[in-house]
């Protein structure tokens, strides 16, 4: 064994991880629920241990009501929320397919970015940032372009808008198209009704309304979409088996994000596609247990109350809230930075003086708005009030003239409205 070069400096050991106890009140991630953190500390298991596969089956059952579905194919993708987005699109879309993107913010642009790399023919139906796309416009675009897939974000945190999706599945089915929805920012905080909407694939993440860490992405897949995906199945050579037959369609262009093999891994076939991220599965399982234990209706109401309170408090300070009130996400609120105020300086003061993080913005809104989130474990009345009080103090310190003390009472009143 070669010896270490004595001339090289010894590696620094640094210190133990000891992050500050920040209150994360931006657009995500948010503070994880303590129960989720405790679950992640449980011991590891082998991926085909009966206890482990039992936990996998439990996760599938737990996430069906969270997605509002009876889909058998409800599971996890190992990776951040974007992993599930990419797995969905690369497994649904064949290069050259026409895909209609419902675009009203940064994450609609992300769908286009991923689809462009797949080789799709991309068409869009658009709304200005701060608005949503009317269903009539979506219907017209489907009729005009005849897409194979319609892709949409449910709640786009870049604009704080939530796209209505009632009727989308019916339009897609009538046109022979599959419907994909990215619900990263809303799963567990606003109603997701995959079956009632009639959409085929919905994906999410843990780090927002579900109150977990980033790194595991729940997904649900309709039987209709599963049939399309399995028609493209191509099992890699090293794990081929006689009981798993390749499809006749175009091979999915990613190995890691190949939903056909991932679905066979989660099925009773237990195809050895990858090693499940055990600690993240524990986290996802506990996120769903927390959500269902609270009750989804109560959870949605808590997020709605948090959003009302945050919006009322901001307006009571004399600030202007961004976007269309009729379609605002319940869990993220955008607010214009007052003229003459350095937005980044205020964010720094919030963090350094109060240990609170609020968000900046992207694209055309960069430097123009802050984004304040109240979701998951942080969608609580006292956390909203603390955040509003801290923002009021920071704005006053920067010379912004506002009615001191007005934000918290306004938020309290709105909480119970």
Task: Encode pLDDT of 357-380 as tens digits.
Answer: 999 999 999 999 999 999 999 999
Q: What is the mean pLDDT of residues 334-350?
A: 98
In a domain, 251, yes or no: yes
Task: Encode pLDDT of 168-225 as tens digits.
Answer: 999 999 999 999 999 999 999 999 999 999 999 999 999 999 999 999 999 999 999 9
DSSP, res 294 = H
In a domain, 163, yes or no: yes
Q: What is the pLDDT, as a whole number, of residue 212?
A: 98
| Nearest in space to 356 (alpha carbons), one of 340, 378, 336, 338 | 378
Q: Do both 250 and 127 map to the same domain?
A: yes
In a domain, 22, yes or no: no
Residues 27 and 283: their CA atoms lie apart, in Å, by 20
Domain boundary residue among 225, 256, 291? 291
Domain boundary residue among 275, 291, 307? 291
State how many domains the chain has.
2
Q: Do both 141 and 280 map to the same domain?
A: yes
Domain boundary residue among 291, 317, 339? 291
Q: Do both 174 and 209 map to the same domain?
A: yes
Mean pLDDT for all residues in the chain? 97
Percentage of the chain surpassing pLDDT 90?
Answer: 97
Residues 60 and 284: their CA atoms lie apart, in Å, by 10
Position 11 pLDDT exceeds 90: no
Q: Do both 308 and 248 map to the same domain?
A: no
Range of the domain at 62: 34-291
Percentage of the chain surpassing pLDDT 70?
Answer: 99
Cα 138-83-168 angle, rounded to 5 deg: 20
Q: What is the pLDDT, as a whole number, of residue 177?
A: 98
Q: What is the pLDDT, as a whole number, of residue 121?
A: 98
Task: Encode pLDDT of 90-104 as tens digits.
Answer: 999 999 999 999 999
Q: What is the pLDDT, as a whole number, of residue 12?
A: 86
Residues 264 and 268: their CA atoms lie apart, in Å, by 7
Report the range of poorest mean pLDDT among 4-13, 45-54, 226-235.
4-13
State the Rg of the chain over Cα. 23
In a domain, 3, yes or no: no
Q: What is the pLDDT, as a whole number, of residue 5?
A: 73
Q: Do both 364 and 257 map to the same domain?
A: no
Task: Encode pLDDT of 283-296 as tens digits.
Answer: 999 999 999 999 99
Q: Do both 69 and 142 map to the same domain?
A: yes
Q: Do both 86 and 138 map to the same domain?
A: yes
Q: Do both 263 and 307 map to the same domain?
A: no
Q: What is the pLDDT, as a whole number, of residue 3?
A: 65
Q: Do both 254 and 359 map to the same domain?
A: no
**Beta strands in 319-410, from DSSP E residues, in sequence order:** 332-336, 356-357, 369-373
- Residue 80: give its domain's CATH number: 3.40.640.10
């Amino acid at each position: 064994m070669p010896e270490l070069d004595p001339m090289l400096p010894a590696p620094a050991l640094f210190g133990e991880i000891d992050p500050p106890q920040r209150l994360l009140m931006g657009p995500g991630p948010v503070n994880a629920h303590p129960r989720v953190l405790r679950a992640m500390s449980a011991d590891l298991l082998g991926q085909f241990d009966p206890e482990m596969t039992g936990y996998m089956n439990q996760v599938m059952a737990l996430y069906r009501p969270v997605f509002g579905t009876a889909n058998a194919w409800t599971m996890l993708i190992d990776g951040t929320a974007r992993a599930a987005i990419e797995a969905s699109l690369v497994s649904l879309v064949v290069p050259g397919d026409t895909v209609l993107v419902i675009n009203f913010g940064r994450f609609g642009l992300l769908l286009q970015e991923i689809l462009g790399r797949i080789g799709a023919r991309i068409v869009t139906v658009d709304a200005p940032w701060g608005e949503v796309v009317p269903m009539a416009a979506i219907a017209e675009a489907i009729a005009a372009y005849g897409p194979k897939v319609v892709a949409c974000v449910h709640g786009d945190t870049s604009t704080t808008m939530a796209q209505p999706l009632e009727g989308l599945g019916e339009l897609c089915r009538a046109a022979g198209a599959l419907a994909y929805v990215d619900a990263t920012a809303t799963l567990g905080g606003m109603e997701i009704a995959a079956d009632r909407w009639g959409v085929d694939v919905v994906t999410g993440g843990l780090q927002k309304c579900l109150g977990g860490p980033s790194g595991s992405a729940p997904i649900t897949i309709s039987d209709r979409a599963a049939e399309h995906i399995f028609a493209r199945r191509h099992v890699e050579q090293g794990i081929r088996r006689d009981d798993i037959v390749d499809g006749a369609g175009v091979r999915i262009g990613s190995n890691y994000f190949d939903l056909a093999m991932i679905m066979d891994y989660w099925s009773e076939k237990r195809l050895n596609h990858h090693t499940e991220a055990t600690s993240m599965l524990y986290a996802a399982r506990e996120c769903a247990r927390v959500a269902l234990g609270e009750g989804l209706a109560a959870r949605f109401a808590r997020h709605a109350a948090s959003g009302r309170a945050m919006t009322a408090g901001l307006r009571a300070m004399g600030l202007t809230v961004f976007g269309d009130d009729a379609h605002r996400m319940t869990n993220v609120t955008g607010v214009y930075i007052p003229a003459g105020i350095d937005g980044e300086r205020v964010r720094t003061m919030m963090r350094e003086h109060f240990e609170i993080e609020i968000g900046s913005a992207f694209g055309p809104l960069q430097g123009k708005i802050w984004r304040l989130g109240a979701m998951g474990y942080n969608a609580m009345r006292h956390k909203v009030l603390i955040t509003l009080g801290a923002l009021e103090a920071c704005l006053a310190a920067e010379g912004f003239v506002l009615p001191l003390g007005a934000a918290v009472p306004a938020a309290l009143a709105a909480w119970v409205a």
